[in-house]
């Protein structure tokens, strides 16, 4: 579904991605872990063209990820950020229905029915009429997930979706993500939740200093990391 080859990204003199090869199969759940500053967010942002790579090539379902295809890519690749970026002046339901109505020209009535279904799925149907400043962080993040799903994406990218949450709210968001993974959604998840990655991911990628240093199935990676860098990282975070 996604194939990136030799992706590089520099900001001025700073080389942030130093040649990343990455493939994601349909239905696969890929966890991306690694120290802060290793380029995880930049990689995700390149995959949906929020950042323009400096070099290399990215294909999404055989379509080149570039300026020409950007609006289609953005519709088909959902993204959830650490900070939720909800529209503050819209209700929860309006947040969810906005893009389908605006971008996909879905009829309001249909978008609202679908929106309510999605809010039910993330456990927030009763909050449909609330404004974002009246719900908790965990609830906001679940709305952000519902909003991304409302565009019926083929892939969901998550960039540390639980890092800004109080500990007691992490579980409810991870639980929604776990259900989504079970439903067969293709997902790339940057996370510090190692237990979650071990349980839910089909494959783990470990990044350090702009490169993929190690890659494998979660049991191997977490129990028997091969590289010294991965060992050192896991000793710090586990």
Q: Is 13 in the site for ligand ADP (CB under 6 A)?
A: no
The answer to whether the CB of 204 falls within 8 A of the CB of 197 is yes
Read off the DSSP letter of residue 213: E
Q: What whole-number distance in Å separates Cα of residue 159 and Cα of residue 177?
A: 12
Q: Is 162 in the site for ligand ADP (CB under 6 A)?
A: no
Residues 47-76 that bind ligand ADP (CB under 6 A): none
Which one of Mg ion, ligand ADP, none is in contact with 162 (Cβ closer than 5 to 8 A by kind)? none
Q: Hey, is 1 helix, strand or coil?
A: coil
Which one of ligand ADP, Mg ion, none is in contact with 87 (Cβ closer than 5 to 8 A by kind)? none
Which of 36, 67, 133, 183: binder of ligand ADP (CB under 6 A)? Answer: 36
Q: Is 42 in the site for ligand ADP (CB under 6 A)?
A: yes
Q: Hey, is 188 helix, strand or coil?
A: strand
Alpha-carbon distance values, 141 to 123, 149, 158 (Å)? 12, 12, 11
One character per residue 32-71, x = contact with Mg ion (rule: CB under 5 A): --------xx------------------------------
| Shortest Cβ 20–ligand ADP spacing (Å) | 11
Given the complex with ligand ADP, which of 16 and 106 has the nearer CB atom? 16
Q: Is 195 in the site for ligand ADP (CB under 6 A)?
A: no
Q: Could you please report the per-residue DSSP string of 4-54?
A: EEEEEEEETTEEEEEEEEEEE-TT-EEEEE--TTSSHHHHHHHHTTSS--S
Which of 22, 38, 65, 185: binder of ligand ADP (CB under 6 A)? Answer: 38
Which of 41, 128, 162, 186: binder of ligand ADP (CB under 6 A)? Answer: 41
Q: Is 14 in the site for ligand ADP (CB under 6 A)?
A: yes
Q: Hey, is 144 helix, strand or coil?
A: helix
**What are the residues facing 60 on neighbouring strands?**
2, 63
What are the start-end ranges of the E strands in the chain?
A: 2-11, 14-24, 29-33, 55-60, 63-64, 77-80, 155-159, 186-190, 203-208, 211-216
Which of 2, 28, 31, 39: binder of ligand ADP (CB under 6 A)? Answer: 39
Which one of ligand ADP, Mg ion, none is in contact with 223 (Cβ closer than 5 to 8 A by kind)? none
Q: Is 20 in the site for ligand ADP (CB under 6 A)?
A: no
Q: Is 11 in the site for ligand ADP (CB under 6 A)?
A: yes
Helix (H) or strand (E) holding 170: helix 167-182
Site size with ligand ADP, rule: CB under 6 A: 10
Q: Which residues bind ligand ADP (CB under 6 A)?
A: 11, 14, 16, 36-42
Q: Which residues bind Mg ion (CB under 5 A)?
A: 40-41
């Amino acid at each position: 579904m996604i194939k990136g080859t030799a992706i590089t990204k520099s900001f001025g003199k700073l080389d942030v991605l130093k040649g990343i090869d990455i493939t994601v199969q349909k239905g696969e759940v890929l966890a991306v872990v690694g120290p802060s500053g290793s380029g995880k967010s930049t990689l995700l942002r390149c995959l949906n063209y929020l950042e323009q790579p400096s070099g290399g090539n990215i294909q999404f379902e055989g379509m080149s990820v570039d300026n020409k295809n950007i609006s289609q890519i953005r519709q088909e690749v959902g993204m959830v950020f650490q900070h939720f970026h909800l529209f503050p002046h819209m209700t929860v339901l309006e947040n969810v229905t906005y893009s389908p109505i605006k971008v996909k020209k879905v009829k309001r009535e249909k978008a609202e029915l679908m929106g309510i279904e999605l809010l039910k799925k993330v456990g927030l149907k009763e909050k449909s009429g609330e404004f974002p400043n009246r719900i908790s962080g965990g609830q906001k993040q679940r709305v952000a997930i519902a909003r991304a799903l409302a565009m019926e994406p083929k892939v969901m990218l998550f960039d540390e979706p639980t890092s800004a949450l109080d500990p007691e709210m992490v579980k409810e968001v991870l639980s929604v993500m776990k259900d989504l993974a079970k439903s067969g959604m293709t997902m790339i998840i940057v996370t510090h939740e190692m237990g979650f990655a071990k349980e839910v991911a089909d494959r783990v990628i470990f990044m350090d200093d702009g490169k993929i240093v190690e890659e494998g199935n979660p049991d191997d990676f977490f129990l028997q990391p091969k590289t010294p860098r991965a060992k050192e990282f896991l000793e710090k975070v586990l």
